Structure formats: structure tokens, C-alpha cells
Structure 1
Amino acid sequence: MKKEGAFYTGEYRNVFKEYGYQEHEIFRKVENTWNDLFYGDENTKIYYPVGSEEAYILDTGNLDVRTEGMSYGMMMCVQMDKKEEFDRIWTWTKKYMWHSDGKYSGYFAWSANPDGSRRAQGPAPDGEEYFAMALFFASHRWGDGPEPYNYSRQAKEILKVCIHKGEDGIGDPMCNHDNKLIKFTPESTFTDPSYHLPHFYELFALWGEPEDKQFWLEAAAASREYLKKACHPITGLAPEYANYDGSPYVCNGHEHFYSDSYRVAGNIALDYEWFRGDEWEREEANKIQKFFVDKNPSDYSMYTIDGIELEQKALHPIGLLAMNAMASLAATDPNVKTYIDMFWNMPLRTGIRRYYDNCLYFFSLLALSGKYRIWFPIHG
């Protein structure tokens, strides 16, 4: 049986081209967006160099530096072949966010101030997942260098900690060993559906430590099955936080479809593009697009997962549109063209809340132009 998905074929869909956009236009849009995010004006950029060797990605809405943003920035850089910016972000991250000892040794403090002082000590698993994947890709594109630029070793160490932390009685792992699901935090007893990245776990099984291969393969399968439970069967909406059985974890509104939840559509779409992870992903992408197709992004709100609109407006409507458009990698519904055109014509967000929206915007732009790719080892 012929296996499909870019991992097997090496072919990545350029959905913009499929829907009539010209290659030179697509190339220019990707390049211009990168330049705006990294070197644009003060109302647009999110990348800030420090001295000659460091840089950080700023959460402009909270004025802090997060492992989410730093790892996202590294993934953007490796996909765009921007080694200098990648190394600058990684240097800052290792210097200020990495724990060398104590309860969280091997993890990264999830939030810090731009001067490097920490706002929080605990880690957030989405940061660790993206750090590891971006580092593997960096190793494969550019080769390993001296520490801390021995990218593949750094990635393997991160993954070892995620699985094996606590075996010496100190700290907790990021992965639940009973059900193979990623946790919300190492200490928590629930999860975040948007943290589930089965397409990453498939690659971690290949490139992580050999003794952990089976764990990551089981994690990929477990997350694909978990997302079927967490996403509503009619609307396709997922809560921000959820229990291990997929039911919403009730906590100050996080049981609803809100900011974190937006990423689920993009994650499912990328898993389908890379691995054809599960035919359910096509159904899910269609449901998400159908739910939002008659809604104007300026009117996006918080929703219960069964689709009831709540009073609170969406904090990141452009990010939501971007992920709904990225779902087009898996969707078969006639709504796809509507999303592709709407997203193409939507500019980057400017102003205070631009960080999260524009990270999701750029990932969607990369994915829909066929530029969000798996980078394999240089020698086989």
C-alpha cells in the first residue's frame, strides 16, 4: 500500500498556488512577512536583538518572553533558513530560561522579562516540544556545532527530560506514562489539546534516544485518538484545557474554545499534510471551517465547545482566522477557497496584541505555501 503524506513523498502542497495565486506573489508574501515580523517597525516586529549574540521574541501583549514564543521563533527561523536569528534566540533561551539544577533542572522557565529575569520558574510543555523539533531541524539543515549549537544533542536532552524527569525522585515528567499524553504542566493532572503534536512525536521516535522510540510512537497514536475525544463531534471546537478523557477541564473559562484552542486546527492539518495521520482529521478540518465560515473575524468570540457564542470577544481573531485557513491542508469542504482568499487578504496584526496572532499567521502562511517542511538529516 502506497503511503501518502509529505514525510513519505517529499511533496508539500502549495495551497495558495492551487487556488490561483502566482508563485512569485507567494514567495514575496512569505519574505515580506518574515521581514516585517523580524525587522519591521516598532508596531509590527516581535524579534528584538540583544548585543551581538542574543535575541528574544516578545509577547507584546504581556511584555514578557515566553518559551512558546522563543520556540516558535526558532521554528520560523529554521524553516526560513535563518541561522543567525535562530542561534541568537537559542543563546538567549539557554542563558536565561534553562534550569541547570533544582526541581526543574533540564526544563525551561516559561516566562521571563526582557532583561532575562524570570517571572515564573515552571515550564510549559508546548515550549519544550517546539524547542526539540526546531533543534532537530536545525541540526539537519545546518549541521551541529559546539555547545550549545550541538542542536541534535540539545534536542535529545530536552526529550529525555520530558519523559524521564522524576525517575530520581526529583521533579515530574511532562508526559503521562499511563496514557502517553502530554500534560498541561509537569505537575498537572490534565492537558491542553493544543499541546498535542503527533506529527512531532513521529519524528521524535526517529531522532530521539533509541530507548524512547516506542514511547513516542505510542504518544503519537494516543494523541490522535485523544483529539477525537477533545474536539466536539458537531462543531469541531476543542476547549483550552481538557481532562485525559477529552472532557473540558472547568477552570476560569478555560473549558471553552478560546486562544489556545485555535492551534488545534493547525496541528491537525499539519499532521495530515506530513503523515496523513488519520482520516478523521479531514472531517475535523471540515467541521471547523463550516462552523466559522459565516462569521466575520471582527466578530469572533469565545464559544462553548458545542458552539454557543459567549459575550467575551476573541482576543486573537487574526490568529483564529490563520488556523482556520491552515485547516485547508486537510479540508475537502467547498469553504476552503473562502478561507484561502480571506487569509491571503488579511494583513498582519499591528499594535499591542500582535505577538500571538502573528505567530499563528506566519505558521499558516508557511504551511499553505508548502514551506513548513520536515528537514531530514543531511546524510540520509
Structure 2
Amino acid sequence: MLKTNEGAFFTGTYRNLFKEYGYSNEEINTRVEDTWNELFGENEETKIYFEVGNDLGYMMDTGNTDVRTEGMSYGMMMAVQLDKKDVFDRLWNWTMKYMYMTEGENTGYFAWSCATDGTKNSYGPAPDGEEYFALALLFASHRWGDSVEEPFNYSTQAKELLKIVIHKGEDGVGYPMWNPENKLIKFIPNCEYSDPSYHLPHFYELFSLWSYPEDQAFWKEAAAASREYLKIACHPETGLAPEYAHYDGTPNDERGFGHFFSDSYRVAANIGLDYEWFRGNEWEIENANKIQAFFADKDPEDYRRYTIAGEPFEEKSLHPVGLLATNAMASLAANGPFSESTVIQFWNTPVRTGVRRYYDNCLYLFALLALSGKFKIWMPK
């Protein structure tokens, strides 16, 4: 149940936790701009964004040397939040040129992985990219206005995408990205299980306002369904979620993804932002507190793969900085004893360098934006 008239969507006020914990506006603004420059500038140790020609750009997964819809959509969201229209348009132009699929059962979706020259590595989509593309495009429309030139007619592109992800397959060709009965997002369209970290109820609330009128009720129901799903997917004691989970919330370990690992980190961030924007529900406070408590006595250098009950594996985390960042972002919801210390620990941690930096630093910049009150809902003018 949403708390009516609470949350940034209703008030227009965004918490700046860094300021609440003693950092100055100048320090915070400098840190955000410096971090943008580290990821999108020319520092070879930290950059993940690369420009091509006069009008193209891509985000590279430096650990796998490819371009993913996850990263492209993340980069677009970062760009619209920080008013970097040229970067946004370059990323969207590259996405439409190389990732958009025009034939086969996945027509209308985006290939989840491409080589840096644009060659598709896969002809399958990943729904977390599509949902981020859609909201980034809507925000771009609201912040900068639509162009008559495709593909920069942002709002039309977003509405068409939001239509296809729920209606595809109704003509017998392909599969939707959301299960039409339970309104839960799938891991991939042609499967019937989910990834808890894909669940973005705060996005769906906005889709229910700005999608085509005939689709708005679906998105409102999807927001409620996702909030309920996260309650059953997260462990009742640790708050941890698996990477893949069945529709009943139980871990899906058929491919070894039934534990708390890389994908799962995003759940804490998503809970934090849903609470900040919409005050999703009281459970989000409780779960954020549980996650932060679980990691309170653990050093990031020793983060590991865990069962959702908290039992550690020998395998170390591939993305400890990203995990620290998302745990800090959970402080937007948390009110427990570790909220402030988690944020300060994150502030004192630099962006990651080296080949595995891409995922960590995407989550890092999102956390920096959210915790400084700069991850905003851009409303229609």
C-alpha cells in the first residue's frame, strides 16, 4: 500500500543523505561530476564509455569486452539525470543502429549483447535493459522534449517499447517480457521464472502514467505485484535475494543462480529508490535494515557468494564495490543502526579500476546520484 502524498514523487523533495551525514554541497556536487568524468571521460583506468564517429557511443562491459543493453540503458539513465544530452543521444543512436532487432521472434526487442563493432553476439533480449530504456526515454522527453526525427522522438519510442514488452506473442509470434497473468517480469521472454533484481515497481508506477492509455492498468498492477514478489523472494532473516527465483519466490538454482551473487546486489538499490520515490511499503524499511545488518561485520575485500540464508561460499564477490554501493543506496529506506556508516563507507570508497570495473562503477554512479538527491523523477512540462 502506497503512503499517499509521501515520497519524492508526491513532494518533489529528494533526500540528500550525504548532506544529512555532514558533507557539503560543494563536496557532493564535485564528487558527482568527478565520478561522471571518471566513467565517461578519458581516464583509461576508469572509463566505460566510448564514442564512435560524430553521433554514436557505447558503454563497454570491460570484464567481457562487449556492449550490453544493461549498460547502454544505464548510461542513458545516468546521462538524462545529469543533463548530458549528447551522450544520451549517442548511446540511443548506437542502441537503435546495432541492438534493435527487426526480424525473428524477438522483433522489436534489443539484442542483449553486441561486440564493440556492433555485431550481435546474441539475438535474445534481457528485460532489464528494456525497462531502463523505456524510463530513460520518458525522462528525456520530459527534460529535453521530443524531436520529430527518429529515433529521438523519445516518448513515442518509449510507449511503443512498453507496448511490445507486454503484448508480444498475442499474435502467436514471440513472447512477452512480463507474465500476463501474474504481472511479473521474466528473466528472459521465453522462460517462466524471474530475476528479483529486475523488479522496479517505482518504474512501473511511472509507466502506469505515461504509457499508452490501454496499457496503464497493467503497469499499475505490475508495480503492486513486484512489491509483493520481493517480499517472498528475499530471505526473511538476512533480506538477501537469489539471482533467479521462481514465481513463488523460491530460489531457482537450475543453472547455479539460486544464490546471492552479482545480479542480486541490485535488489537493495531498487528497494531504496522505490521507497524514496513512492514510499513503496514498510517492508522495504525492514528489508533494507536486514541487508545492511548482514554486511555490517564484513569487509568488502572478503565479500562472497552467499546462500540467501547467509551461508558463505569460498567464491569471492566479482563486484565488491558494486555491492557496497547498492547496500549504501538501501539507506534511502533503512532506518537501522548501520544506515549512516554504510553511506560513509561508500563515500570513502573510490570507483573501481581494472577489467571488472564496468558493473561496479555503474552501480556506484547510481548510488552516488540517489544518495545525493540527484536520481530524480523528470515530470512532463
2:4 and 2:54 map into 1 onto residues whose CA distance is: 49
1:356 deviation in Å? 0.1
Residues of 2 paired with 1:337 and 1:70: CA distance? Answer: 31
Please state how far the C-alpha of 1:101 moved relative to its aligned partner: 2.5
The answer to whether residue 357 in structure 2 is matched with residue 354 in structure 1 is: yes
Answering whether residue 214 of structure 2 is matched by residue 207 of structure 1, we say no
- The aligned residue for residue 216 of structure 1 is 219
1:85 is matched with 87
Structure 1 stretches of 4+ with a deviation exceeding 6 A read none
- How much has 1:178 moved relative to structure 2? 1.1
User: For the residues of structure 2 that align with 1:318 and 1:284, how far apart are their CA atoms?
Assistant: 21
Structure 2: runs of 5 or more not aligned: none
Alignment of 1:245-260 (within 5 A): 245-260=248-263
CA distance in 1, matches of 2:202, 2:42: 32
- Aligned with 1:158: secondary structure? helix
Q: 1:28, 1:237 → 2: CA distance?
A: 33
Please tell me the residue identity of whatever aligns with 1:215: F
Alignment partner of 1:49 is 2:51 = yes
- The corresponding residue for 1:140 is 142
Alignment partners' CA distance in 2, 1:251 and 1:374: 37
Q: Secondary structure at the match of 2:57?
A: strand
Could you tell me how far apart the structure 2 residues matched to 1:266 and 1:71 are? 16
Aligned to 2:63: 61
Distance 2:11 2:129 in 1: 29
Give the AA of the match of 1:225. Answer: E
Residue aligned with 1:16, SS: helix
Task: Please show how residues 93-104 of structure 1 align to structure 2 within 5 Å.
Answer: 93-104=95-106
Residue of structure 1 in register with 2:166 after alignment: 163
- Alignment partners' CA distance in 2, 1:177 and 1:114: 35
Aligned match of 1:108 = 110
* Range with greater deviation from structure 2 (98-107 or 142-151): 98-107
Summarize the alignment of residues 362-377 of structure 1 with structure 2, pairs less than 5 Å apart: 362-377=365-380
Q: Deviation at 1:2? A: 5.4
1:204-260 Cα offsets, whole Å, 9 max, x none, are: 000001001110000000000000000000000000000000000013321000000
Q: Which residue of 1 aligns with 2:122?
A: 120
Structure 2 match to 1:307:
310
More off after superposition, 98-107 vs 13-22: 98-107
What TM-score do the two structures reach when normalised by structure 2?
Answer: 0.98
Secondary structure of residue in 1 paired with 2:51: strand
List per-residue Cα deviations over 1:164-190 (Å, max 9, x = no partner): 001111100001011000000000111
Once superposed, what is the RMSD of the aligned Cα atoms?
Answer: 0.8
From 182, 185, 193, the counterpart of 2:185: 182
Q: For residue 322 of structure 1, give the secondary structure of its aligned residue in structure 2.
A: helix
What's 1:16 paired with?
18
Deviation at 1:102, TM superposition (A): 2.1
Report the counterpart of residue 321 of structure 1 in structure 2.
Answer: 324
Query: Aligned to 2:58, what secondary structure does the other structure show?
Result: strand
Structure 2 CA distance, aligned partners of 1:238 and 1:40?
A: 36
1:28 paired residue number? 30
Q: Which residue number in structure 2 is paired with residue 297 of structure 1?
A: 300
- Match of 1:28, SS? helix
Give the Cα separation in 2 of the matches to 1:310 and 1:253: 13
Deviates more, 1:237-246 or 1:99-108: 99-108
TM-score, with normalisation over the residues of structure 1? 0.99
Q: Across the two proteins, how many residue pairs are aligned to each other?
A: 378
Provide the secondary structure at the position in 2 that maps to 1:263: helix
